[in-house]
Amino acid sequence: MRVKNLWIVVLLIGAPSLLRAQQNDSLDKLADDFWTWRAKYAPFNGDDVPRMERPGGIRDWSRASVDKRRKDLADFEARWKRIDIHNGTISRQADYRLIGSALSRVRWELDVNPSWKRDPTFYISQTLTALVEALTVPAPYD
């Protein structure tokens, strides 16, 4: 009987820590997944060129590609909303809100201010910014 009571006490003490660790892991995993995705699909933009390493390749702004991004974004938003951060530390709550802000930025780019849909200069900046990034690689050169 004493061993059973000891296990109950251990579980009651350890459960909040375990839950907090799972919340941190899910927020960290969401952040890692999102920023990897964002680096691949974010439009080139003069305000964030030096802040983000981007993988090479062609950017696709076709309707099918944008629809895929919307679906991916909806999945990220659903994962973000499932995270219960209310009992987390202040720094974790701030991290949670920052990821929410980054998700909102993508929603804004795709739906609120869809330059990709209606602004021909968007495609010029996508081409020229990619070219500038390629030409301004810091030394040493290979």
Q: What is the pLDDT of residues 126-142, one digit of tens each?
A: 888 778 777 877 778 77
Residue 53 resides in a domain:
no
Residue 110 resides in a domain:
yes
Residue 99 resides in a domain:
yes
Residue 13 resides in a domain:
no
Residue 1 resides in a domain:
no
- Distance (Å) of CA 32 to CA 25, 29, 36, 70: 10, 5, 6, 18
Q: What are phi and psi of 92, to 5 degrees?
A: -70, -35
- The 10s digit of each residue's pLDDT in 63-73 is 999 999 999 99
Residue 95 resides in a domain:
yes
Task: Judge contact between 133 and 51, C-beta under 8 A.
Answer: no
DSSP string, 8-48: HHHHHHHHHHHHHHHHHHHHHHHHHHHHHHHHHHPPP-TTT
Task: Judge contact between 63 and 114, C-beta under 8 A.
Answer: no
Residue 2 resides in a domain:
no
Predicted TM-score of the model (pTM) = 0.72
Domain count, the chain: 1
DSSP string, 43-93: PP-TTTGGG-----S----SHHHHHHHHHHHHHHHHHHHH---TTS-HHHH
Residue 107 resides in a domain:
yes
- Four-point Cα dihedral 6, 7, 13, 14, nearest 10: 150
- The 10s digit of each residue's pLDDT in 31-73 is 999 999 998 888 877 665 556 777 767 778 899 999 999 999 9
Range of the domain at 72: 21-40+65-136
